[in-house]
Chain A
Amino acid sequence: MAQTMGVRSIVVSVEGMTCNSCVQTIEQQIGKLNGLHSIKVSLQEKNAAIIYNPKLQTPESLREAIDDMGFNAILADPNP
């Protein structure tokens, strides 16, 4: 997937989620952003796997978007 032109994926660590409704709101909110292809949030692993268009989003802008929602987001591995 990462090889495809115009598509990149990252994993962002997200701290502070405690239930499924937190997971859902993040998926809904971040999924609405421009250039987002898909987002999968894991409550157990405390992270969000995001596939996005690097022309429209950067890892930092994605991290900030989650941070803005009130969760502590940290860029984990830039090349999962």
Chain B
Amino acid sequence: MPKHEFFVDMTCEGCSNAVTRVLNKLGGVQFDIDLHNKKVSIESEHSVDTLLDTLKKTGKTASYLGEK
């Protein structure tokens, strides 16, 4: 499965928990959240656009960094 890396402007644990929740809702994803570096790496068959839209649902700034 492709692994994608995203930047998400998370500032606290509440933020990263929110990201966890929306990703779990989407389903079909395996992910790692690096709160310190504001990075989320996601392993999924979903398209980058779907993943980015999901991350943006949290209301935080999110952008695609590239494949890992």
Contacts and interface: CB of A to CB of B under 8 A. Distances in A.
B68 to A, nearest CB: 23
B21 A71 contact: yes
A34 interface: no
Contacts of A25: 15, 58-60
B50 to A, nearest CB: 15
Interface residues of B, number: 16
A69 B17 CA distance: 10
B13 A18 contact: yes
A21 interface: yes
Contacts of B11: 19, 21
Contacts of A68: 22, 25, 57
Given A16-B17, A70-B19, A26 B12 contact: no
A12 to B, nearest CB: 15
A17 B25 CA distance: 18
